[in-house]
Structure 1
Amino acid sequence: MNQTVGSEDFAMNVATELPYLRRYARALTGSQTSGDNYAVATLEAILEDPMLAKSGKSTRVTLFGVFHAIWNSSGAPVAAEEAGIEARAQAHLSRLTPNTREALLLSTIEEFSFEQIGEIMKIGTAEAEEFVRIAQRELAESVTGRVMIIEDEAIIAMDLQSIVSEMGHAVTGVARTRDEAVALGKAERPDLIFADIQLADNSSGIDAVNDLLEILGDVPVIFITAYPERLLTGEKAEPAFLITKPYSEEQVRLAASQAMFFSSTETLRH
């Protein structure tokens, strides 16, 4: 069924997909501000050119396709005025094979097929698959470090420990509550934090992370939640890295590599 920009169905579909486009944009740029700027530019482009909504593709593929047209034309993954982690990310990104990380994020985090990735990125299906393989290898080889896990479900915590350990990271420990998380973070500074939202004593994983960041400074954080739309509202500061439950091993691997890739490498083992 053809949809137009002004149609109610198209507007509803865009509203449904927008949190995921914003999640993708943040993961791609490593910055909430830069990611949201690209998402806004995407919506503006669709409003200015109604023909984009008549491509015959799904709203989701159309939305991400317009995003990529803007992304490719900008030539700058991170805004020039960004500093700290975002600025260091710009230098790191230049070492990756062009377009491979985009393909990997589309495949693993957003779960597009290789055919859909090809449509979004304007490349062939085989090329999309090859891009994903290259990015997996390059990101896995980028950096390793110390990982802290804030998770009250024992099975999930063990699973996360196993995955990140197999990647070559050292796990500093597992915290089940906000207080345990702060104590663990003080005892051994992590290079990366995995954090569930709801903890064992009904404390908040978000509060635990905020406490830790006040103490530790810039440390990349990956939040894990069954309800990503509750965090991706655009109303307040949001995580650049977010995994949706139930997650796959590949999603955890990608998120960890992405977050490490965007973090400072001063304390990481190469």
Structure 2
Amino acid sequence: MNEALLRALPRARRYARALAGNQEAGDALVREALMALRESPPPGDGPTVMLALYRAVSAQVKDAAGEPGGLSVVERQVLLLTALEGLGHEAAGLVLGRTGDEVAAKAAAARERLREGARADVLIVEDEPIIAMDLGQLVAACGHRVAGIAATQAEAVALARSLNPTLILADINLGMGGDGKSAVAEILREMTVPVIFVTAYPERLLTGEAVEPAFVVTKPFDPMTLAIATYQAVTGGLRLS
């Protein structure tokens, strides 16, 4: 595998996992994409290779109308590529085989319907009070309810047990209060709940070497990025079969 592909893998994993709704299915998409690119290696520099890998992942998922009132496959892809991965409309169009204008129209339509999607009771795990308050406001702006806010690892586990949230939004570093990943791991031993990790260093979570999160949002982020990630997490991503 060439160096450009290796550098592109963390972002491809993030996109594929968010698209599929879980780590296992997302990583399977990436493996299939790499096999396809092995047959026809992408030429050019890093950005060109990154787009080729996004395209190979996207090509494995057929477009469909989605659930009534929900987003179609291509709308999910457009939102994930533009908001989560930061591509412009033209670049996302190259990935999806559409024009930049088509991508812009799909994105606008999807944003209009996004708040009508699944609602969640969210447990926020964040040790900085101001950041936790900001996250709570973003969660509410996305149409969800803040079930509780935990500042430490122990508090996160206790609140998860008592509140039974339908989504967890967790920072990685909880300062003196422990570790967000460890808190989530303990919670997931007792219940099944989707988790979105918030971090300034997503590549540290996307190495492919251990159990990793399905959803990673990079700091700083805007409300639309969080809205898309929560929609994917709560709805379980795409049905791939």
Q: TM over 0.5: same fold? A: yes
Is 1:234 the counterpart of 2:208 in the alignment?
A: yes
Residue pair 2:153, 2:174 contacting (<8 A) in 1 also: yes
Q: Which residue of 2 aligns with 1:100?
A: 75
Deviation of 1:93 after TM superposition, in Å, equals: 9.1
Is 1:225 the counterpart of 2:199 in the alignment?
A: yes
Task: After TM superposition, list the pairs within 5 Å mapping 1:152-191 onto structure 2.
Answer: 152-191=127-166
1:191-232 CA distance string (max 9 Å, x none): 1110111113251111111222223x1111101112111111
CA distance in 1, matches of 2:73, 2:231: 17
Residue pair 2:199, 2:219 contacting (<8 A) in 1 also: yes
Deviation of 1:139 after TM superposition, in Å, equals: 3.1
Which of residues 20, 30, 42 is equivalent to 2:21? 30
- Could you tell which deviates more after superposition, 59-68 or 174-183? 59-68
Is 1:203 the counterpart of 2:178 in the alignment?
A: yes
1:60-85 CA distance string (max 9 Å, x none): 2122122223334xx79xxxxxxxxx
Is 1:61 the counterpart of 2:40 in the alignment?
A: no
Task: After TM superposition, list the pairs within 5 Å mapping 1:34-183 onto structure 2.
Answer: 34-50=25-41, 52-53=42-43, 58-72=48-62, 92=67, 95-183=70-158
- Could you tell which deviates more after superposition, 30-39 or 56-65? 56-65
CA distance in 2, matches of 1:173, 1:56: 42
Deviation of 1:128 after TM superposition, in Å, equals: 0.4
Greater Rg by CA: 1
CA 1:95–1:244 in 2, change beyond 3 Å: closer, same or farther? closer
RMSD of equivalent CA atoms: 2.4
CA distance in 1, matches of 2:200, 2:97: 32
Deviation of 1:55 after TM superposition, in Å, equals: 10
CA 1:256–1:46 in 2, change beyond 3 Å: closer, same or farther? same
Q: Which residue of 1 aligns with 2:9?
A: 18
- Could you tell which deviates more after superposition, 133-142 or 53-62? 53-62
Deviation of 1:45 after TM superposition, in Å, equals: 1.4
CA distance in 1, matches of 2:27, 2:233: 18
CA distance in 2, matches of 1:248, 1:123: 25
Q: Secondary structure at the match of 1:71?
A: coil
**For this pair of structures, how many residues does the alignment match?**
236
The answer for unaligned runs of 5 or more in structure 1 is: 1-5, 77-90, 264-270
CA distance in 2, matches of 1:69, 1:171: 36
CA distance in 2, matches of 1:14, 1:209: 30
The answer for unaligned runs of 5 or more in structure 2 is: none
Q: Could you tell me the TM-score, scaled by structure 2's length?
A: 0.89
Q: Which residue of 1 aligns with 2:234?
A: 260
Q: Could you tell me the TM-score, scaled by structure 1's length?
A: 0.80
Question: Percent identical across equivalent pairs?
Answer: 39
Q: Secondary structure at the match of 1:26?
A: helix
